[in-house]
Structure 1
């Protein structure tokens, strides 16, 4: 893959990510999109649970395996190193599209605060969660996180400089504010169906396991004692909830 083609590939993948990100908001919030977490004709509950768990498992496996350094070293023997991050983002988007397309609704209501003050507050939290997700990406390095810096540097025949470890913005309050934003967005809903609850529970479990037991292991290997100190001083997801681990 030539330099120009790699750059174009990275740009196309970023557009795909933006569309997927916006659809994810509509999907989890039952807003605008043609297929959301609660739309569609319900089928047998057992079959719905099996299908939904399979879809979430595909996402979890893709997201975790492709993020590991060993996989990256193997993968970049087949594709340009500059395109590695973009390819990861593309495969993540594909996994999300599978969830959007084949998710099975389970409409039994767990709670319903629609048309109430509580519902308004939950809706505000929902949007606040997504805002935290997006803004947190800019507090580290949005372009690096989504592969644009890498393909642009490759186009210019330069080595992409990865962001250094600094505590800034939300990262002074929690170690993983992007995940905090996702957790808020997934749980804050005026109307919680059984299908939405399944989604929130499984994604919460995955976030905790993947971040605390996989991602942070890689971060310690990469950053070293600075990250160990950071981990001991700053909570993982909830500001003020204990200290560090």
Structure 2
């Protein structure tokens, strides 16, 4: 019964986390005004800025703390280890929803591309391509492990959890973190850039970069020289910014 409850918990956590991602995407799309981050300002610019930066800090700190191995070890002392990732997804989803729903508009127009123009539709193509890259990337590494479902499912089946193997497939041949690249592209590809949207995009881009640096440290510990070799030849966040990616990645794939 306990294992069934853990699996149900992971499903609920997954649904909340996934729903928060959809809310996030919709909030920056300018396609649904009711949930857009760009609405009429309700407070002064600087109080709104401070509130927004506080929301970003809360979101970032939660990710940084809960992603560390030291936190995972403490968590396992009081709760079943298989639900650790699901708990991370649950709290991340709730805080991301809070970030979006409590984000304070600050007004200010930086650019606004006219509808029904080639550039307007091109930017929206990039927008949706970015989020598609994010979701596809999650499946390339194992979507259900990333969101905590694999851990509790294996526990339900009385099977031990096994660490995912290091592999370089498709998008990962061109950039080490296509998931983050997709999120950044989705944030910046907008036909209407306001100060509200700019602060939102800058803050989350900074979070992606900082989070990537911490993640890379853990990956080097887990996979050693294989990851260091991959890291030396494959760009971190911007595809096609290093030479000889194709040849090097073939060598890495052969070794794995």
Same fold by TM-score, threshold 0.5 exceeded? yes
2:251 paired residue number: none
CA offset digits 1:116-158 (Å, max 9, x no partner):
3222111111100000000001111111111111010111111
TM-score, length-scaled by structure 2: 0.91
Write out the 4+ residue segments of structure 1 that deviate beyond 4 Å after TM superposition: none
When normalised by structure 1's length, the TM-score is 0.95
Shift of 1:37: 1.1
For the Cα contact (< 8 Å) 1:143–1:149, is it kept in 2?
Answer: yes
Indicate the residue corresponding to 1:60 in structure 2.
60
Aligned residues: 243
In the TM superposition, 1:201-212 aligns within 5 A as 201-212=202-213
- Gaps spanning 5+ residues in structure 1: where? none
Please name the residue that 1:171 is paired with.
Answer: 172
Partner Cα distance (1:114, 1:67) in 2? 42
Contact 1:110 1:192 in 2 (8 A): yes
| Contact 2:18-2:93 at 8 Å conserved across structures | no
Do 2:83 and 2:151's aligned partners in 1 also have CA atoms closer than 8 Å?
A: yes
Who is 1:235 aligned against? Answer: 235
Deviation of residue 233 (structure 1)?
1.1
Answer whether contact 1:144 1:150 (CA < 8 A) is retained.
yes
Q: 1:32-52: CA deviations, max 9, x gaps?
A: 373221024432000110000
For 1:186-225, list aligned pairs within 5 A: 186-212=187-213, 214-225=214-225
What SS does the aligned partner of 1:224 have? helix
Contact 1:144 1:162 in 2 (8 A): no
Matched, 1:104 2:104: yes
Deviations 1:171-202 (A, max 9, x none): 00000000000110000000000010001111
**Over the residues paired in the alignment, what is the CA RMSD in angstroms?**
1.5
Per the TM alignment, residue 31 of structure 1 is displaced from its structure 2 partner at its CA by: 2.7
> Which whole-Å CA distance do the structure 2 matches of 1:15 and 1:158 have between them?
24
Once residues 114 and 139 of structure 2 are traced to their aligned partners in structure 1, the CA distance between those partners, rounded to angstroms, is 33
Q: 1:2-151 maps to which residues of 2 (within 5 A)? A: 2-32=2-32, 34-115=34-115, 116-151=117-152
Distance in 1 between the 2:120 and 2:29 partners?
A: 12
